[in-house]
């Protein structure tokens, strides 16, 4: 091997190792800080929130207002829409009418909450204040930090390396082709919506059968690691983060093993327009000899095409804009209305009443307050944490956090993406998956909570 070739190989290896090490240190390594175990991302987000301090309401109001104004301006001005396309922000500000309406309503809610105008159920300390200041404020800080740090974990070869090593496991445990390991790992660590979009794209390109794509989308496109940290901190269990996350991983693996073999996923049929793809493909990774070398090669290849500094910063800034301008208004609206229904109406209490005796039988304190949280996750991923924050028992909040973060099928984002996709999945199937994931995850969460809090 020539000197130039060796230098090139060394450079590609360093391009993989250095960012991946930093990403793993930020997201995966426990540290003891301020009296509790957490990760560096949590420390960075807490520091940023402390720095913003009392200016958080003004920042949140500015974000949602700018989002609404720019979206409306793009809707009525075709020239501005073209400028959005030129600057790569079309998906943020050029949205369908339905999502524009939700964004405007979320902005209106924010103004009513900040200035305590309109009906009390909007701006109450148990509804709007929680949605705006707790949910919105935490999203702004955690995802600002995560957007600029997560690419080190996902874009420089670490997932390809681990994914290649896991390929044999995926075939045997999850009845999926080996290449799905990389897809699943990307989905797990990045964001649920990103994972679903990756899977849909792979299906449309003919790499998965319909069943494989639906299994991946409904089992591996879970809430991101940063969002797990957000929920755990929000619900008041920061010192138990690693215990909760370990429980989430356990539930996720159990669901991924069991659900493909159970209804409704077991009965998924191919569409007439599907490409012919074998259920478990014998792709070019069937040979298991020297799999470590293959994993390193895959990591080097990914690192070689990874973004440079300018691309890195641009993509991270784009992601921040997506979250701040697109997600925050929606969170404020759905969080406020969901909490209002839970706090000011008997709807959720009535629907969840049959669960209360069962929760008591399982030994969960505050069963009546906790029961609605196991149902509202189908609507939005934030609502269980927002409602569960008021539950006094730490053990019960542990179960709520672990279950809500593994129910996966929430209609406000993942459900909507799947319903609109080429996979032709219907809402009854999604509801069935949600119920099955809840039934599998709940007993595991209860056992884990009692073990870690004994």
β-bridge mates for residue 37, sequence order: 32
Which pair of tokens denotes residue 18? Answer: 């250095």
pLDDT tens digits for range 19-57 = 989 888 887 777 877 776 677 887 888 899 889 988 999
pLDDT tens digits for range 322-334 = 888 888 898 888 8
Within-domain flag for 327 = yes
DSSP H helical ranges for 408-453: 416-419, 427-452
Residue among 364, 356, 368 nearest 447 (CA): 364
Decide the pairing of beta strands 31-33 and 36-38.
antiparallel
CA distance 450 to 284: 45
| Inter-residue contact 257 to 203 (CB < 8 Å) | no
Which pair of tokens denotes residue 26? Answer: 């930020």
Q: Which long-range contacts (CB under 8 A, 24 or more apart) does 86-89 make?
A: 88/314, 88/318, 89/318, 89/321
Residue among 167, 150, 126 nearest 342 (CA): 126
User: How much is the average pLDDT of 108-132?
Assistant: 91
The residue to which tokens 């009392």 are assigned: 54
Sign of CA dihedral 174, 177, 179, 180: negative
Residue among 255, 276, 259, 258 nearest 208 (CA): 276
pLDDT tens digits for range 144-192 = 888 888 788 778 888 788 878 887 888 788 878 766 766 666 666 656 6
Dihedral of CA atoms 220, 225, 231, 236 in degrees, nearest 10, equals 130
Domain total in the chain? 1
Q: What percent of the chain has pLDDT over 90?
A: 26
Q: What is the pLDDT of residue 278?
A: 43
Averaged pLDDT score across all residues of the chain: 83
Within-domain flag for 4 = no
Within-domain flag for 27 = no
Within-domain flag for 285 = no
Q: What is the pLDDT of residue 9?
A: 67
In three state form, how does the secondary structure of 31-67 look?
EEECCEEECHHHHHHHHHHHHHHHHHHHHHHHHHHHH
pLDDT tens digits for range 435-454 = 999 999 999 999 999 999 87
Within-domain flag for 72 = yes
10 Å Cβ neighbour count for 303? 24
Within-domain flag for 275 = no
Q: Is residue 227 left, alpha or beta, with left meaning phi > 0 and alpha meaning psi from -120 to 50?
A: alpha
For residue 100, give its domain range. Answer: 37-270+290-305+312-452
CA distance 427 to 6: 54
Within-domain flag for 352 = yes
CA distance 21 to 307: 17
Within-domain flag for 211 = yes
Q: How far is CA 175 from the centre of its chain?
A: 24
Lowest mean pLDDT among 208-222, 407-421, 422-436: 407-421
Whole-model pTM: value is 0.74
Residue 284 has pLDDT above 50, yes or no: no
Q: What percent of the chain has pLDDT over 70?
A: 86
CA distance 201 to 176: 17
pLDDT tens digits for range 401-424 = 999 999 988 876 677 778 877 888
| Inter-residue contact 363 to 411 (CB < 8 Å) | no
């Amino acid at each position: 091997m020539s000197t130039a070739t060796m230098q090139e190989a060394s450079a590609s290896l360093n391009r993989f190792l250095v960012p991946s090490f930093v990403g793993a240190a930020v997201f995966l390594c426990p540290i003891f800080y301020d009296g509790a175990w957490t990760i560096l991302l949590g420390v960075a987000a807490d520091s940023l929130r402390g720095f913003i301090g009392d200016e958080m309401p003004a920042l949140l109001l500015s974000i949602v207002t700018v989002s609404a104004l720019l979206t409306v301006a793009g809707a009525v001005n075709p020239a501005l829409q073209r400028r959005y396309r030129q600057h790569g922000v079309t998906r943020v500000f050029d949205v369908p009418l339905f999502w524009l309406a939700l964004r405007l309503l979320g902005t209106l809610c924010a103004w009513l909450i900040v200035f305590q105008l309109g009906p009390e159920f909007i701006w109450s300390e148990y509804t709007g204040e929680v949605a705006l200041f707790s949910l919105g404020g935490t999203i702004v800080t955690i995802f600002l930090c995560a957007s600029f740090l997560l690419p080190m974990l996902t874009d420089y070869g670490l997932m390809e390396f681990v994914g290649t090593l896991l390929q044999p496991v995926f075939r045997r445990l999850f009845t999926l082709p080996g290449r799905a390991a990389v897809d699943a790992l990307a989905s797990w660590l990045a964001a649920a919506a990103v994972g679903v979009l990756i899977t849909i794209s792979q299906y449309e390109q003919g790499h998965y059968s319909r069943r494989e794509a639906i299994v991946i989308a409904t089992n591996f496109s879970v809430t991101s690691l940063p969002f797990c940290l957000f929920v755990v901190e929000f619900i008041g269990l920061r010192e138990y983060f690693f215990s909760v996350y370990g429980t989430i991983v356990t539930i996720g693996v159990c669901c991924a093993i069991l659900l493909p073999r159970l209804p409704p996923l077991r009965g998924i049929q191919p569409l007439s327009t599907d490409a012919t793809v074998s259920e478990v493909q014998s792709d070019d990774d069937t040979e298991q000899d020297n799999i470590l070398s293959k994993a390193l090669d895959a990591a080097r290849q990914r690192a070689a095409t990874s973004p440079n500094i300018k691309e890195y910063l641009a993509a991270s800034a784009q992601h921040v804009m997506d979250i701040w301008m697109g997600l925050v208004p929606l969170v404020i609206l759905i969080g406020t209305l969901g909490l209002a229904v839970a706090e000011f109406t008997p709807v959720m209490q009535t629907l969840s009443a049959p669960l209360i005796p069962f929760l008591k039988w399982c030994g969960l304190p505050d069963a009546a307050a906790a029961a609605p949280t196991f149902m509202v996750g189908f609507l939005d991923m934030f609502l269980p944490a927002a409602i569960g924050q008021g539950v006094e028992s730490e053990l019960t909040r542990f179960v709520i956090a672990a279950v809500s973060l593994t129910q996966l099928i929430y209609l406000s984002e993942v459900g909507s993406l799947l319903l609109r996709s080429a996979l032709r999945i219907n809402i009854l199937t999604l509801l069935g998956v949600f119920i099955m994931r809840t039934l599998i995850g709940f007993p595991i969460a209860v056992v884990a909570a009692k073990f870690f809090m004994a």
